[in-house]
Amino acid sequence: MVNTMLDTVAMQELPQIGAEPRERADAARNREKVLCAAARLFAERGVELVSMDDVAAAAGVGKGTLFRRFGDRAGLARAVLDESERAFQDDLLRGPPPLGPGAPAAERIVAFGAGVLDQLENQHELLFAAESGSPCARFTHSVYAAHRAHLYLLLGEAVPDADVEYLVDVLLNSLSADFFIYTRHIRGLSLAEAKAGFAHLVDRILDA
């Protein structure tokens, strides 16, 4: 099983009733060493050129440890991204409008898209790695669930009568790393054009 972001949160911060028994000291130390080494290697060589063996070696831990804690390559990528994703979700819930509360739903949706596209612009390799792996990997993790819940509320507010469930997934699908890399590097759109495209899509969907 993969050690997701939420698991980590639960394990570290929430003293639950029959909860997990606290992380051992060496485990915590190794987790930190791995995340550190991974971030450094990814930055140095690019994500694609770093193998799991490389990470294990650079962190000075065994391969077994690496996979035990992060499940697979995608899980490691998610763990490395965890912090910035957490900050983003915080902005969504408590930041200034239009990303945070206080702006009309339509504007918040567009701002959300722009925010995700900004993340992709800077970290598309890592985000792609995080979404790769088993079929539909990207849909089955907490980040997707959180983004989905966010857009679901906003879209339900903006177009109460529509098939909101499906439309939310379509919108998120147009913000996938895969699609981003295609539009940006194969189609050759600029970041601004990608944002404009998404905004235009949202307009079309909302104004119907």
Q: Which residues bind DNA (CB under 7 A)?
A: 21-27, 29-30, 51-53, 60-65, 67-69, 72-74, 133
Minimum CB separation of residue 157 from DNA in Å reads 39
188 scored as a contact of its own copies (CB under 8 A):
no
Q: Are 194 and 118 spatial neighbours (Cβ–Cβ below 8 Å)?
A: no
Report how far apart, in Å, the C-alpha atoms of 100 and of each of 23, 79, 117, 199 are.
34, 24, 16, 17
Distance (Å, whole) CA 202 – CA 11:
38
Minimum CB separation of residue 159 from its own copies in Å reads 8
101: helix, coil or strand?
strand
Q: Which does 174 bind (CB under 5 to 8 A by kind): its own copies, DNA, none?
A: its own copies
Q: Which does 26 bind (CB under 5 to 8 A by kind): its own copies, DNA, none?
A: DNA
72-111 footprint of its own copies as x/- string (CB under 8 A): ----------------------------------------
106-125 footprint of its own copies as x/- string (CB under 8 A): --------------------
- One of 57, 82, 179, 191 touching its own copies (CB under 8 A): 179
**Residues in CB range of 179: below 8 A, 6 or more apart:** 173
- One of 45, 63, 68, 200 touching its own copies (CB under 8 A): 200
Q: Which does 139 bind (CB under 5 to 8 A by kind): its own copies, DNA, none?
A: its own copies
For 101, phi then psi, to 5°, come to -65, 150
DSSP H or E segment with residue 136: none
**Which one, of 208, 125, 136, lies nearest residue 172 by Cα?**
136
**H and E: helices and strands count for the chain:** 10, 0
Nearer to its own copies by Cβ, of 7 and 203: the residue is 203
Minimum CB separation of residue 145 from its own copies in Å reads 11
103 forms beta bridges with 101
